[in-house]
Amino acid sequence: MPKQITEAPPPENIDQSLYAAIDLGSNSFHMIIARENHGQFQVIDKHKEMVRLRSGLDKDGNLTDKAFQTGIECLERFGQRLKGIPNKNIRAVGTNTLRNAKNSQKFLKQGKQALGCSIKIISGQEEARLIYLGVSHGLPSNDDQRLVMDIGGGSTEYIIGKHFENSHLTSTEMGCISITQAFFAKGEITDENMNKAIAHCRQILRPHRSKLNKQGWDTAIGASGSIKAVGKIIELNGWSDSGITLKSMLKLNQKLIESVSIREVKLEGLKDERRPVFAGGLAILIASFIELNIEQMQVSANALREGLILDSLGRIYSEDVREVSVKAMQQWMKVDTLQADHILNTAKVLYKQANHSWKLQSPDYDFKCLLKWAVMLHETGIAISYKRYQQHSAYLVSQSDLAGFDQQEKQMLSAMMLNHRGKFDLSVYDEMDESIAQKLIYLTLVLRLAVRIHRGRDFELTKPQLSIQNDNDIFLEFEDNWLAEHPLTQLDLETEAKHLSAIGLTLKLT
């Protein structure tokens, strides 16, 4: 087993009231800094750079050296502004392009060094949830059902909800960069290629149309740079008095076609930084209005990064949405919650004792919560089959859209599910950061011991004493005669000792 890494001391001059959110989008990287006051936040700084990461994907699905370096240099500049903000108050997420790039893990590793904090990859569903959270907090309080739409560089999200709660999330594989690359690669805009682009976007959206229209909405709100740009141009050119409409967009579209090339377009409100991807964004928006019969759309100043700030505050001041997701999955998979609760009580005792030696904390993850969620979900796979249920549990956690969880958190939970009993497979930790992998192995061991102790499902409360020497020598002590009175548990723990010896750990029972 590798030696434990010593945690660096916390930096000085840290302002605990400051929060930061970084959105590593396919088109641009955004950063906002906010100050918290009694559960509310006030934005005090914003910074955006047009990185266009999606444009830097080669034919093999890798970020090119130029795109890779452009992104890292941007993160280095972001990192300078983040100094003085607590690491736990910083949320940095990657979206569509980093979800799909084959060398994204390499980018995340270097990006962490440049930014000074870890970067989490989020699913399209999680991206949509956070977008709605950010947008809804910037709207007046009313009972309207809302359709929120966000066009990114590589994906477009559609969310329906009321107040701060969403009822439907859809993420589609079309974005202003990907559509521009496919239909306007040379910058030429004609009737033919615009119609083809719109038709293609309608095809992508059509499978989702019925569900979205069935939900219905009172108001439509758009977020992101593409929709903001369209709204601004329509307003400045006097094409609509009520936000974005299909009629006003068709006028805008005609102006683009008349200009032939996006480089030649002269429109008030069209910024040079938006030109390279503008046609693709407009095609998506027109297609959405046609397919969903949207009459008019207002533009929101808020988006994903505001949602990240609010989600961070929600984890402090109200129920963590991840907790809600775990409980919902327990109910869905008919987990024996009483058994899970008893295992959790023992796991907490073991964690507290193990933490003295193994230092089971991380600036990037709450290991205590990870252990709790692993206990709550480790038997989900039984709903599929008891045979190899740990593999089923691992699959369910890794593949489910668990609101609030990023991909790395699901990867860690999945590794713990897979290894909570039987042979200990270290290979599942290979792609994780070394410091995280070490601690997660130890955390998994705590889970394994708690599960073993309660295999009998008799729920008898016991308070085992766990002590560790030299990181790898583990001593587990029980009250007098407890093991003798529980021979199956003793046999299980002796079997466990053999599994642990295969990975360089010794378990001794006293």
Map out the domains of the chain as residue ranges.
Answer: 18-122, 139-300, 319-509
What percent of the chain shows pLDDT beyond 90? 82
Amino acid type, 21 = A
Quick check: do 18-122 and 139-300 share a fold? yes
Cα separations (Å) of 61 from 70, 107, 127, 399? Answer: 17, 13, 21, 22
Q: What are phi and psi of 154, to 5 degrees?
A: -120, -10
Over the stretch 211-267, which tens digit does the pLDDT of each residue have? 999 999 999 999 999 999 999 999 999 999 889 999 999 999 999 999 989 999 999
Instruction: Determine which helix (DSSP H) or strand (DSSP E) holds 49, and give its type and residue range.
Output: strand 40-49
Judged on CB neighbours under 10 Å (0-12, 13-18, 19+), 200 is middle
CATH of 139-300, picked from 1.20.140.10, 3.40.640.10, 3.30.420.150, 3.90.330.10, is 3.30.420.150
Q: What is the pLDDT of residue 437?
A: 92
Domain 18-122 architecture? 2-Layer Sandwich (3.30)
Q: Radius of gyration of the chain from Cα atoms?
A: 26
On whether the CB atoms of residues 237 and 267 are closer than 8 A, the answer is yes
pLDDT of 66 > 70? The answer is yes
On whether the CB atoms of residues 286 and 198 are closer than 8 A, the answer is yes
At 22, the pLDDT band (50, 70, 90 cuts) reads very high
Over the stretch 350-398, which tens digit does the pLDDT of each residue have? 999 999 999 998 888 899 999 999 999 999 999 999 999 999 999 999 9
Q: What is the pTM of this model?
A: 0.83
CA distance 497 to 408: 29
Instruction: Determine which helix (DSSP H) or strand (DSSP E) holds 315, and give its type and residue range.
Output: helix 304-317
Helical ranges in 379-478 per DSSP H: 389-399, 407-418, 434-453
Domain 319-509 architecture? Orthogonal Bundle (1.10)
Q: What is the mean pLDDT of residues 277-297?
A: 97
